[in-house]
């Protein structure tokens, strides 16, 4: 697999307890939780950009593509594009991150629960960059996850 987004398994930790470190991701998670009502998941239409202004540049949105059992990026925030160096809107999670990337998104989809991954990125010689990603399930009908909204925060690794 070419090195344009692949994150090796050993450099990434899955966290289904969602122990967030970034204040911006905590804010997004709290907003999402506030929109979960009566055991139903929020839909994309439940979120307005102005209420997410603190994290808007770090937001991404995927839609589930059932015939491929994969997820297509339909929105990628400007901060993500800046750190990654390319806008991957329209591309599939599987083509960017391989089977383990798809597995992460499938976990969020099938569980209907948020999840977090964090670790070191491996794009275009940016191995000194760390990240924290929060993935949140969305469902137009309140039950069946058809989109995943999330945000990714990047920072330079400290060598001190």
Which tokens is 113 given?
A: 């629960």
Strand partners, 117: 14, 133
Q: Which burial class, exposed, middle or buried, applies to 150 when counting CB atoms under 10 A from its CB (0-12, 13-18, 19+)?
A: buried
9-156 fold? Beta-Lactamase (3.30.450)
Query: Do the beta carbons of residue 63 and residue 72 sit within 8 Å?
Result: yes
Kindly report the pTM of this predicted structure.
0.88
Which tokens is 134 given?
A: 């929060």
105-129 residue pLDDT tens: 999 999 999 999 888 876 656 567 8
Instruction: Report domain extents, the chain.
Output: 9-156
17-31 residue pLDDT tens: 889 999 999 999 999
């Amino acid at each position: 697999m070419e090195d344009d987004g692949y994150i090796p398994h050993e450099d990434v930790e899955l966290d289904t307890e969602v122990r967030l470190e970034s204040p911006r991701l905590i804010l997004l998670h709290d907003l999402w939780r506030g929109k979960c009502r009566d055991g139903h998941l929020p839909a994309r239409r439940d979120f307005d950009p102005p209420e997410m202004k603190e994290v808007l540049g770090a937001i991404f949105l995927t839609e589930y593509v059932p015939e491929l059992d994969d997820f297509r990026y339909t929105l990628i925030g400007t901060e993500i594009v800046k750190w990654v160096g390319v806008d991957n809107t329209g591309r599939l999670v599987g083509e960017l991150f391989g089977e383990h990337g798809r597995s992460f998104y499938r976990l969020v989809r099938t569980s209907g629960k948020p999840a977090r991954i964090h670790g070191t990125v491996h794009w275009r010689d940016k191995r000194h960059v760390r990240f924290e990603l929060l993935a949140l399930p969305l469902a137009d009908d309140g039950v069946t996850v058809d989109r995943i909204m999330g945000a990714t925060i990047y920072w330079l690794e400290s060598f001190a």
